Amino acid sequence: DTGVSQDPRHKITKRGQNVTFRCDPISEHNRLYWYRQTLGQGPEFLTYFQNEAQLEKSRLLSDRFSAERPKGSFSTLEIQRTEQGDSAMYLCASTEEGSTYEQYFGPGTRLTVT
C-alpha cells in the first residue's frame, strides 16, 4: 500500500495528558498538511510542511500543539495537556509539488479526550 498512512488510528486519553500522532506521506510527495475535523464539519487546516520546513500554521494551532517533519519524510503532531475540545479526527494529507493540487488523505487519527 503506497498511500498516506497514519498511526494510531484511534487514541483515547485523559484530559491533561500528552499525545503524539504520526503521518507517513506518499514517498515522493514533498508537501504535507495536517487538518482537524470535528463531527459534521469539513476538515480545517492546521499546518503545512514543504520538505522539512513548516511554512504555515493556523491560528487554530495553539501553543499546546507542535508539529515536526525532521527529515522531510514522516511528520508528527503532538498535543500537550490535552483538553476535551481537542477531541476530533486529525487528518494528514500529502501532495506533490507542481501537481494539480490534489491532496491525498490518510485514514486519520481519531482522538477522544475524556
Site for another protein, rule CB under 8 A: 4, 31, 33, 35, 40-45, 48, 50, 55-56, 91, 95, 100-108, 110
The least distance separating another protein from the CB of residue 38, rounded to whole angstroms, comes to 10
Residues 23, 78 contacting (CB under 8 angstroms): no
Angstrom distance (rounded) from CA 6 to CA 90:
9
Of 106 and 113, nearer to another protein (C-beta) is: 106
Angstrom distance (rounded) from CA 71 to CA 93:
17
Of 17 and 75, nearer to another protein (C-beta) is: 75
Of 45 and 74, nearer to another protein (C-beta) is: 45
Residue 72, CA distances (Å) to 51, 82, 83 in order: 4, 27, 29
The least distance separating another protein from the CB of residue 16, rounded to whole angstroms, comes to 27
Cis amide bond preceding 8, omega within 30: yes
The least distance separating another protein from the CB of residue 21, rounded to whole angstroms, comes to 14
- The residues pairing with 65 across neighbouring beta strands, listed in sequence order, are 79
The least distance separating another protein from the CB of residue 97, rounded to whole angstroms, comes to 10
Of 42 and 85, nearer to another protein (C-beta) is: 42
